[in-house]
Amino acid sequence: MTARILLVDDIELNVKLLDARLTAEYYQVVTATNGPDALRICQTESVDLVLLDVMMPGMDGFEVCRRLKADPRTTHLPVVLITALDQASDRLTGLEAGADDFLTKPVRDLALFSRVRSLTRLKFVTDELRRRAETTVSLMAADTHFRPDLLQPPPHVLLFSESAEHGQRIRRHLKGVASVDIIDDASDFIDAAAAGQTDVLLIDMDGKGVDPLRLISQLRSNEASRLTPILPARGRTTR
């Protein structure tokens, strides 16, 4: 699975190093050296993920993130802040700005690619749900007999995750696009999936207490849930 990633950093060497590492993994990379250019690219081009340096002259990464999340055109675009700062107050500022995750310099490959894979996969899920919702609205708007009271509710996503932090991050990312229920017990998750009230099942592949592949196998072997789309998600990462 590939994706188009925007790198934002005012230091050319940092951009070149990250560009080379991502390109080697077959990601498409576009770059910007300042906040205004990053905002313009996100608003006018197709981007799946933003890797955003915090310490930049003029408009810093926190402000760029705030503006991206405040704009309806880019509010669902995943943003990872890259910083040499490692204070709790800095992370709090990033969360308040709407950041989806953080990378601490020097950026290690394991942390980099686990976050890229997890967030781009989530972006693809979000895009698909948004397309379905927009298609439904368009079809109903074209119907002269359209009745608003018959409009379908937003898609329902059922997420299995042993990590409360990851679960809340996905719920925040899908806000306004889908309703998300989070379950951390495998048996309860299987029962809820079998109830047939779910449009998409998300499985946290980094679970420690439950084998996610076995859980997927159980869902596929259950007649009540085998036809429900199942998507993997990764959220528990290390520096």
Tens of pLDDT, residue by residue over 2-30, are 789 999 999 999 999 999 999 999 899 99
21 and 93 in a common domain: yes
Is residue 65, in this structure, part of any structural domain at all?
A: yes
Is residue 165, in this structure, part of any structural domain at all?
A: yes
- Quick one: pLDDT at residue 237? 42
Mean pLDDT score across all residues of the chain: 85
Domain of 82 in residue numbering reads as 4-107
What tens digit of pLDDT does each residue of 138-148 get? Answer: 655 565 555 54
The Cβ of residue 51 has, within 10 Å, a number of other Cβ atoms equal to 27
* Confidence check: pLDDT of 83 > 70: yes
The answer to whether 177 and 154 are in contact (CB under 8 A) is yes
How far apart CA 217 and CA 212 sit, in angstroms, is 9
Is residue 143, in this structure, part of any structural domain at all?
A: no
How far apart CA 153 and CA 54 sit, in angstroms, is 38
Is residue 139, in this structure, part of any structural domain at all?
A: no
pTM of the entire structure? 0.64
Is residue 63, in this structure, part of any structural domain at all?
A: yes
Among 39, 72, 107, identify where a domain stops: 107
Domains in the chain: how many in total? Answer: 2
Is residue 95, in this structure, part of any structural domain at all?
A: yes
| Sign of the torsion formed by the C-alpha atoms of 150, 153, 154 and 158 | negative
91 and 156 in a common domain: no
- Quick one: pLDDT at residue 128? 78
Report the CATH number that the domain containing residue 208 is assigned in CATH: 3.40.50.2300
Is residue 200, in this structure, part of any structural domain at all?
A: yes
The answer to whether 228 and 197 are in contact (CB under 8 A) is no
- Quick one: pLDDT at residue 89? 80
Is residue 141, in this structure, part of any structural domain at all?
A: no
* Confidence check: pLDDT of 190 > 60: yes
30 and 100 in a common domain: yes
